[in-house]
Amino acid sequence: MAAEIQPKPLTRKPILLQRVEGSQEVVNMAVLVPKEEGVISVSEDRTVRVWLKRDSGQYWPSIYHVMPSPCSCMSFNPETRRLSIGLDNGTISEFILSEDYNKMTPVKNYQAHQSRVTMILFVLELEWVLSTGQDKQFAWHCSESGQRLGGYRTSAVASGLQFDVETRHVFIGDHSGQVTILKLEQENCTLVTTFRGHTGGVTALCWDPVQRVLFSGSSDHSVIMWDIGGRKGTAIELQGHNDKIQALSYAQHTRQLISCGSDGGIVIWNMDVERQETPEWLDSDSCQKCDQPFFWNFKQMWDSRKIGLRQHHCRKCGKAVCGKCSSKRSSIPLMGFEFEVRVCDSCHEAITDEERAPTATFHDSKHNIVHVHFDATRGWLLTSGTDKVIKLWDMTPVVS
């Protein structure tokens, strides 16, 4: 009798809808145009392009505009069709796009920074333009008058910028790994606090105003979720990338976080689970399991006539242990460890199969990601890469 053939389980993954090509240099930022099959992109080749889908199914530029300097970043407001573009020379140029997205009209220029603009946010409710630059300055301008309202010097070059309209708090992440929170008024700002949890520079920020949590991505390959609204100082670590985090986006309706790395990895995190903080690593001069001395503990080594051992730490309990007492590896998804990490032998026995169940899915974009934009309404994700290609993805199979 022939063996019964079991059908293979269907693997859910993002669906590649389109490749948009034509830029001569890297596309530093791009956005999906809401309610339109269109893309707005700004590139290192100094071009601003609006790509619209034609009857042929291909995306072709309806606008091709050359700026006086390489375009480093942008902010687009769909309601007003206001496009703010940050340039390598420190200028922010503002345009209004026509309803049919076939024309862009210059509005004004802001002499915002002394060097390359790194991030821009346009806040419609307050008519503010927020920006950061390589001059280590955070600035905000009135979009009506063009007047500079104020500024703040950051500890390092900023690479992440988010704003909460309700509280007027701005979140700035910089290359030193620090996140700064400022309270903005019409013409001044107050430092609320600074904090750091990454061992590398902050490369991306994402703010969820509903849950009041801030996500930060870093060159140390990790994502941290900071509980700002809970005021408990909770910081949940997420480890699922093999290279630096380039972009973060949060799908509020499904409580899923999308993180993208420069290695092309797209990770979808289920944030609708009760996650645990990683423990602080404990200090000890000897293994906290077998009491063998570590190699710097000369007195105990001499007294016990034993060779000192190298110190490790269990990722689950945080205890200082030797290699023999931590020979096992395990994933701990609820602590953010989707990959297998070092755990002590007793913790390895205590971790159940249920606790090892993944809370994230992993996908390959097949290009080194520079920037992403997520359209939650359609469930589409845009990725731009170092290969100068923009890819459009249907994420509904995995973000739902």
Residue 380 pLDDT greater than 70, yes or no? yes
Q: How far apart are CA 369 and CA 18, in angstroms?
A: 16
Model confidence over 305-362: pLDDT tens digits? 666 677 888 989 989 999 889 999 988 888 888 888 899 999 999 998 888 888 899 9
Model confidence over 26-37: pLDDT tens digits? 999 999 998 889
Burial 4-15 (b: 16+ CB within 10 A, else e): eeeeeeeeebbe
> Which distant-in-sequence residues (6+ apart) come within 8 Å of 175 by Cβ?
156, 157, 158, 159, 201, 202
The 8-class DSSP code of residue 309 comes to B
Give the predicted TM-score (pTM) of the model: 0.86
Q: Which has the closest alpha carbon to 225: 271, 280, 216?
A: 216
Residue 132 pLDDT greater than 80, yes or no? yes
Domains of the chain: 156-238 (2.40.10.500), 296-354 (3.30.40.10)
> Which distant-in-sequence residues (6+ apart) come within 8 Å of 82 by Cβ?
76, 94, 95, 96, 107, 122, 143
Of residues 302 and 312, the one with the higher pLDDT is 312
CA distances in angstroms from 340 to 239, 271, 316, 369, 381, listed in the order given = 10, 20, 12, 25, 29
Tally Cβ neighbours within 10 Å of residue 262.
Answer: 20
